[in-house]
Amino acid sequence: MAGRRRGAPGPDKDFTFVSSVVKYLLFIFNLIFWIISLVMVVIGVYARMVKHAETALAYLAVDPAMMLMIIGVLMFVLTFCGCVGSLRENICLLQTFCICLTVIFLLQLVAGVLGFIFSDKARHKVTEVINNAIVHYRDDIDLQNLIDFGQKEFGCCGGVAYTDWSQNMYFNCSKDNLSRERCSVPFSCCIESKTKEVVNTMCGHGMQELDYAEAKAHIHTNGCIDTLVNWIHSNLFMLGGIALGLAIPQLVGILLSQILINQIKDQIELQNYNARHRSDPWS
């Protein structure tokens, strides 16, 4: 009589199962991020709907609402695979979730390394994005609020210098510009006075016509790129902690999904073995 193959599980004493803890922990993990992604998509869609139709396709590359929608949709699809895959114990969906999450994690890692190695090219690309955002400053209220927040928070003005605002059609210094904001900068560039009770919202008027020393008394003249770089160098530990905090959930998702996939595969293998053993007890 042929004995059982060495290493094969026995139908009576060897067994495997799918851990309910791992299964529902992965489901809850994905459910939380699925809800977050749904909120992001709803906010992005609402923001796009309330904007003017004539400018809807003019500045997609710098539109915060569009970026929010794209990230939200990707998260929605990915976490949907994780939720359904964990509940249904579907290997295909779980593998899709695991592979996509791994690819995203590796892309983030590669982007960080390349950004550090090729810092000059990364800086050039960031400069292009900021200049493009300056051009469309008045076209998108979300973009305008984002730029104003950044300039106020970091105490800066423009990309490289405050004169970058001449790239905007409203703030351009050319003589044929009939805008009332000609040669001005946004109010968010202004140095806020703590002594005056009345806020001068026109403090940026005509600042591009002044030289650096004169303008410095009224507005922040340093560009936001250099200011941002200096801030990053001064807060490397904090940024490292944030990066680690973003990486941990991804690694947890990859680990849980891979554990669940292995458990499901083991259970399927055992069921197939038991089926063969029952049909051919001499094998």
Contact 208, 168 (CB under 8 A): no
Q: Is residue 128 domain-resident? A: yes
- Cα pseudo-dihedral 156, 160, 161, 164, rounded to 10: -110
Residue 46 domain flag = yes
Q: Is the residue at 170 inside a domain?
A: no
CA 228 to CA 236: how far, in whole Å?
A: 12
pTM exceeds 0.85, yes or no? no
Q: What number of other Cβ atoms are within 10 A of residue 104's Cβ? A: 15
Average pLDDT across the chain, whole number: 82
Q: What is d(CA 239, CA 229) in angstroms, rounded to the nearest whole number? A: 12
DSSP 140-175: -HHHHHHHHHHHHHHT--SSSBGGGGGGSTTT---T
Confidence at residue 197, expressed as pLDDT on a 0 to 100 scale: 62
What pLDDT, on the 0 to 100 scale, is given for residue 5? 41
- The domain total for the chain is 1
Is 213 within the bounds of a domain? no
Residue 245 DSSP class: H
Is 28 among the domain residues? yes
Asked whether residue 218 is assigned to any structural domain, the reply reads: no
Domain annotation covers residue 253: yes
Query: Is the confidence at residue 165, as pLDDT, over 90?
Result: yes
Question: How do residues 179-220 score in pLDDT, each as one tens digit?
Answer: 889 999 999 999 887 666 666 778 888 899 888 888 998 899
**In this predicted model, what pLDDT tens digit does every residue of 81-112 receive, in sequence order?**
999 999 888 999 999 999 999 999 999 888 87
Which of 31-35, 43-47, 115-119 has the highest average model confidence (pLDDT)?
Answer: 31-35
Asked if residue 124 belongs to a domain, the reply is yes
d(CA 93, CA 42): 25
Q: Which domain holds residue 253?
A: 20-140+236-279
